[in-house]
Amino acid sequence: MKELATQQALVDSFSKLPGIGAKSAQRMAFAILEMRQEDVLEFAGALKNAATSVHKCPRCGLYCDTASCPVCDDPARDHRTCIVVSMAKDAYAFESLDFKGVYHCLGGLLSPTKGIGAKDLAIEPLLRRVEEEGIEEVILAMNPNLEGETTALFLAKILGEKHVKVTRLGYGLPMGASLEYADSLTLEKALEGRKTL
**Window 66-95: contact mask with its own copies (x via CB under 8 A):** ----xx--x-------------xx--x--x
Distance between CA atoms of residues 86 and 67, nearest Å: 23
Q: x/- contact string, 94-113, with its own copies (CB under 8 A)? A: -x------------------
To 5 degrees, how large is the angle CA 177–CA 182–CA 186?
Answer: 105
Q: Which residue, 64, 71, 130, 135, is CA-closest to 100?
A: 71
By beta-carbon proximity to its own copies, the closer residue of 39 and 188 is 39
Nearer to its own copies, 49 or 191 (CB): 49
**What is the nearest approach in angstroms of its own copies to the Cβ of residue 194?**
32
Residue among 169, 172, 168 at smallest CA distance from 187: 172
Strand partners, 168: 140
Does 28 help bind its own copies (rule: CB under 8 A)?
Answer: yes
The answer to whether the CB of 86 falls within 8 A of the CB of 148 is yes
> Residues 21, 22, 43, 166: which binds its own copies (CB under 8 A)?
43
114 binds its own copies (CB under 8 A): no
Integer Cα distance of 143 and 126 in angstroms:
18
Where on the chain is the footprint of its own copies (CB under 8 A)?
1-7, 9-10, 12-13, 16-19, 24, 27-33, 35, 37, 39-54, 62-65, 70-71, 74, 88-89, 92, 95
